[in-house]
Structure 1
Amino acid sequence: MKIEQMYTGCLAQGAYYITSAGEAAIIDPLRETQPYIERMEKDGVKLKYIFETHFHADFVSGHIDLSKKTEAPIVYGPMAKTEFDAIIAEDNQIFEIGNIKIKVLHTPGHTLESTSYLLIDEHGVEKALFSGDTLFLGDVGRPDLAQKATNMTQEELAGLLYDSLYEKILPLNDEIIVYPAHGAGSACGKNMQKETVDTLGNQKKTNYALNQKDKESFIKEVTDGLLPPPPYFGMNVMMNKKGYHSFDEVLSRGLNGLSPDQFEESAEFSGALILDVRSNVIFAKGFIPQSVNIGLNGDFAPWVGALVADVNQPILLVTEKGDEEETVTRLSRVGFDHVLGFLKGGFEAWKESGKEIDFVNRISAEQFEQEIKNKTVKIIDIRKESEYNAEHVNESYSKPLAYINEWIHKIDTEEHFYMHCGSGYRSTMAASILQARGYRNFTEVEGGFKAIASTGVPKSDFVCQTKVFK
């Protein structure tokens, strides 16, 4: 028997590949299926089951494509309702893969169909728990995502989650290995540890949610401080329930190289978003007007989901040469399947064609220090509130990037402001969005707070109340 965690850092997502005696099972696969198929061919195993822990909100699973290509059935836990063929398992139902068994543990709370899978080895020993979004390391699944679909409050769902954890999971042996669906950085939880594998015994000691005195305190703790879910979550759930376009079709359509003239014409007539995925340093020096920068070398897909939101939005890509396939793939993982093509030859081809280009007004942290010295200026910090509270530039305003669509219209276009994030990755996103919507009276600080911290700019290192626009 072999268990392999296939972890995707940019999504903070764990898929699982299990083999025994010539048979395999895959739990919560990613959208692109070819790596799994190639791996099974190499290992000489046949896929017997595809297990889904629940209807994922933060990514589109590869379950449908993988089932079509391998003829392996898709398995969901009790209460799941799909618009494609699937086995809807019963609680405690057993599935055999080679010499091992997978036992279904229905663990509702994150969603009603949420299910954990308990692996029993060839000796009958309960060995591993694939806990989906029910139990994370250091946290549990947020109980607010399924409210509309269930007509239940987040408190009622949290109560279900408590019962699942305390009645189904906590009684299991301490030696069992916990394999969660997500790790630190995922929006599906709020307090995850950086590790991606742990023993259940250690989680019983260290996970705050597993150490509450009663159900009431559990509900209060797990619902406290939940940020609004990203807007694309609901659309991803629907794709996972109803089905989606084949990834192969999505990739083929997206890898459509367009000349600068074709690219410009397509943007004009399709209403497509021009998404530039080059690094923020390169983007700031020159880009196609109205394009939005979300760098590929970062939390790319989640930020696209948070800022673009509508998975049906047509997209045209500007990438570095060779990054086209990776970009289309990562967009598809969060349901953005409508890539119309990419700029052949990249931004250099656009520039050489003599077409209009734009720039970000960007200065160094040292220049920022000189420009604000002994002056009254407006400074916007677009980091998360927790980052701002830890330390920030004195008199700066906390306006997280995730909420830019809420605060952008409050900007006084007559008043200049400085803007920064942590390192420059997020502030360039914000700068591109601002300029695409006609806001230009600002200056972005290169290197963000990391660079500012090494200057003499006055900073606060204590928690203070978040400021708001006046």
Structure 2
Amino acid sequence: MYIEQLYTNCISEAAYYIESNGECAIIDPLRDVEVYMQMAKERNATIKYIFETHFHADFVSGHLDLSKQTGAPIVYGPDTVTNLPVHIAKDGERFQIGHLTLEVLHTPGHTLESSCFLLKDENGKDHCIFTGDTLFVGDVGRPDLAQGGDITMSELAGMMYDSLQKKMMPLADDVIVYPAHGPGSSCGKSLGKETFSTIGEQKQTNYALQPQTKEAFIKAVTDGLAAPPKYFPVNVKINKEGYEALDEVLQKGLKALSVETFKKEMQKDKTFVLDTRNASVFTQGFVPGSISIGLEGRFAEWAGALLSFDENILLVCEEGKEQESIVRLARVGFDKVAGYLEGGYDAWKNAGEKIDMIIDVEADELAMDIPHDENLIVVDVRKETEYADGHVKDAVNLPLSEMTDPALMANIEDSDNLYVHCAGGYRSVIASSLLKRQGFHNLRNVLGGWGKIKEQKIEIEKEKSVLN
């Protein structure tokens, strides 16, 4: 028996490779499926099944491409509704992988079709369970992602309670828990820092598995649940209805465009420039109007939250990072990359084209400027919960995820001096690029963000004040 968790930090996603006696199965694969086929090849194994715990909302799964390239069937749990060629398993149905057995446990709650897969070893003993978004380390899947129908969040939460009580609680304490996500994922409220656990540990520490009534559970799971990212419904639809093969997406996107051609492409309707270079490099100079989302951060998530799926994307990348940029965009459903700037930003600059910059300032400079500039506005782009926990007095909270809404900028004047910050500096550069794109050029990016600001002698408060 061989099991490997394939974890992708930037989207907090875990896929799994299971193998026994020359046969293997893949659970919840990402769209770039080459890694799974390569593993199977290196281990002289044949991919026999592809299992999906549910229709994912936070990434585009690789189930279709992997099935086409290997011939392995795609297996979903009960209540799956799709026109795709998949096998819809019954609750309790079992699949043989070499000497191992994988049993389907239907666990509706996160979604109606959500299912877990219980792996039994060569002796028939329960070894581990792949819980998808039903059970995380320290949390459970959010119950507000129902697509269509009349089912409510509370009704899904009630189903989740029943699923946990009937399918998880009876399992032995030593059964290993392998979830689909880890810390930072938006598929739950507050996932723990580990990416696997045991049933026993979760019975002791997970709030959702403590003795409680169904009513108390529903309240605990739904209270304080932030709105899901805007791209979640798009990814669910893609996973249900299908998508273009990644090889074709790459073929279209990996077009090196000269500066002149790039400029012509920029003038087309429904086209924007995305710069994937490091945030600290972007501020020093960029193509005017570019949106910065650096590959060094949670790139795909912020792309999904902020960019339009209906527009063509022109890329400016660090040389050699073009394919990575396209693949990581494709993971959350962006297939309309129209090409990249050949030679990157340096080619643009060396051609004598107009450039733009963002002024970086240290936190101590902000501290010195606050008392002397009556037009100074501190723009805090962290989440509301982060902001409420401590912020510069009178700072305006514009959460980055909401900054594509022009109405939020209505109270900012051209004469205002904007000092933009986040927690550490990644999100504030994205925010600054969006502000620049919307016509606000009198701004500065505070290096080190809140981490450095709170070290200064600046008045801090903890009351929430959101610009509207």
What's 2:345 paired with?
347
Of 149-158 and 364-373, the range deviating more from structure 2: 364-373
Q: Does the CA-based 8 Å contact 1:279-1:295 persist in structure 2?
A: yes
How far off its partner does 1:410 sit?
3.6
The 5 A counterparts of 1:124-163 are 124-146=124-146, 148-163=147-162
Of 257-266 and 381-390, the range deviating more from structure 2: 381-390
Is structure 2 residue 294 aligned with structure 1 residue 300?
Answer: no
The DSSP-based 3-state class of the residue aligned with 1:373 is helix
Deviations 1:193-221 (A, max 9, x none): 01001011000110011115100000001
What's 1:389 paired with?
388
Deviations 1:388-438 (A, max 9, x none): 233322222222111113423342334333221112211111111111111
Distance in 2, Cα, partners of 1:436 & 1:375: 25
TM-score (norm 1): 0.96
How far off its partner does 1:30 sit?
0.6
The 5 A counterparts of 1:183-194 are 183-194=182-193
Counterpart residue type for residue 446 of structure 1: L
How far off its partner does 1:270 sit?
4.7
What's 2:277 paired with?
278
Structure 2 residue aligned with 1:363, among 354, 361, 364? 361
Is structure 2 residue 288 aligned with structure 1 residue 289?
Answer: yes
Distance in 1, Cα, partners of 2:373 & 2:273: 37
Of 205-214 and 57-66, the range deviating more from structure 2: 205-214
Identity %: 49
Distance in 1, Cα, partners of 2:364 & 2:463: 27
Is structure 2 residue 449 aligned with structure 1 residue 451?
Answer: no
Distance in 1, Cα, partners of 2:420 & 2:269: 32
How far off its partner does 1:374 sit?
5.2
The DSSP-based 3-state class of the residue aligned with 2:194 is coil
How far off its partner does 1:259 sit?
0.8
Structure 1 residue aligned with 2:331, among 333, 343, 346? 333
How far off its partner does 1:278 sit?
1.0
How far off its partner does 1:268 sit?
1.0
Is structure 2 residue 424 aligned with structure 1 residue 426?
Answer: no
The DSSP-based 3-state class of the residue aligned with 1:117 is strand
What's 2:213 paired with?
214
Distance in 2, Cα, partners of 1:454 & 1:282: 25
What's 1:264 paired with?
263
Q: Does the CA-based 8 Å contact 1:54-1:114 persist in structure 2?
A: yes
What's 2:312 paired with?
314
How far off its partner does 1:279 sit?
1.4
Unmatched segments (≥5 aa) in structure 1: none
Shift in alpha-carbon separation, 1:374–1:355, aligned structure 2, 3 A: closer
Is structure 2 residue 226 aligned with structure 1 residue 235?
Answer: no
Counterpart residue type for residue 164 of structure 2: L
The 5 A counterparts of 1:57-76 are 57-76=57-76
Distance in 2, Cα, partners of 1:387 & 1:212: 30
Q: Does the CA-based 8 Å contact 1:392-1:459 persist in structure 2?
A: yes
The DSSP-based 3-state class of the residue aligned with 2:286 is coil
Counterpart residue type for residue 54 of structure 1: H
Deviations 1:362-401 (A, max 9, x none): 3222221211135544212111223223332222222211
Distance in 2, Cα, partners of 1:307 & 1:230: 9
Counterpart residue type for residue 209 of structure 2: L
Deviations 1:121-145 (A, max 9, x none): 1101011100000111100000001
Counterpart residue type for residue 90 of structure 1: K
Distance in 1, Cα, partners of 2:59 & 2:150: 23
The DSSP-based 3-state class of the residue aligned with 2:195 is coil
Q: Does the CA-based 8 Å contact 1:397-1:466 persist in structure 2?
A: no
Task: Show structure 1 runs of 4+ deviating over 4 A.
Answer: none
Unmatched segments (≥5 aa) in structure 2: none
Counterpart residue type for residue 197 of structure 1: F
The DSSP-based 3-state class of the residue aligned with 2:139 is coil
The 5 A counterparts of 1:390-405 are 390-405=389-404
How far off its partner does 1:72 sit?
0.3
The DSSP-based 3-state class of the residue aligned with 2:151 is coil
Shift in alpha-carbon separation, 1:465–1:456, aligned structure 2, 3 A: closer
Q: Does the CA-based 8 Å contact 1:313-1:336 persist in structure 2?
A: no
The DSSP-based 3-state class of the residue aligned with 2:387 is helix
Distance in 1, Cα, partners of 2:109 & 2:451: 39
How far off its partner does 1:108 sit?
0.4
* Equivalent pairs, count: 465
Distance in 1, Cα, partners of 2:467 & 2:242: 43
What's 1:417 paired with?
418
CA RMSD in angstroms comes to 1.4
Q: Does the CA-based 8 Å contact 1:312-1:337 persist in structure 2?
A: no
Is structure 2 residue 222 aligned with structure 1 residue 223?
Answer: yes
What's 1:11 paired with?
11
Distance in 1, Cα, partners of 2:142 & 2:455: 37
The DSSP-based 3-state class of the residue aligned with 1:248 is helix
The DSSP-based 3-state class of the residue aligned with 1:253 is helix
Counterpart residue type for residue 25 of structure 1: A
Counterpart residue type for residue 441 of structure 1: N
What's 1:95 paired with?
95
Distance in 1, Cα, partners of 2:200 & 2:148: 34
Of 374-383 and 110-119, the range deviating more from structure 2: 374-383
Counterpart residue type for residue 6 of structure 2: M
Of 52-61 and 442-451, the range deviating more from structure 2: 442-451
Q: Does the CA-based 8 Å contact 1:212-1:218 persist in structure 2?
A: no
How far off its partner does 1:226 sit?
1.1
Is structure 2 residue 175 aligned with structure 1 residue 176?
Answer: yes
Q: Does the CA-based 8 Å contact 1:94-1:101 persist in structure 2?
A: yes
What's 1:408 paired with?
409
Deviations 1:309-352 (A, max 9, x none): x3232111001011111111100100011111111100000001
What's 1:123 paired with?
123
Q: Does the CA-based 8 Å contact 2:275-2:293 persist in structure 1?
A: yes
The DSSP-based 3-state class of the residue aligned with 2:428 is helix
Q: Does the CA-based 8 Å contact 1:142-1:222 persist in structure 2?
A: yes
Counterpart residue type for residue 358 of structure 1: D
The DSSP-based 3-state class of the residue aligned with 1:144 is coil
Structure 1 residue aligned with 2:322, among 321, 324, 331? 324
The DSSP-based 3-state class of the residue aligned with 2:19 is strand
Q: Does the CA-based 8 Å contact 2:397-2:467 persist in structure 1?
A: no
How far off its partner does 1:441 sit?
3.0
Counterpart residue type for residue 281 of structure 2: I
The DSSP-based 3-state class of the residue aligned with 2:30 is coil
The DSSP-based 3-state class of the residue aligned with 1:273 is strand
Distance in 1, Cα, partners of 2:256 & 2:83: 35
Q: Does the CA-based 8 Å contact 2:381-2:420 persist in structure 1?
A: yes
What's 1:39 paired with?
39
The 5 A counterparts of 1:69-88 are 69-88=69-88
Distance in 2, Cα, partners of 1:321 & 1:258: 13
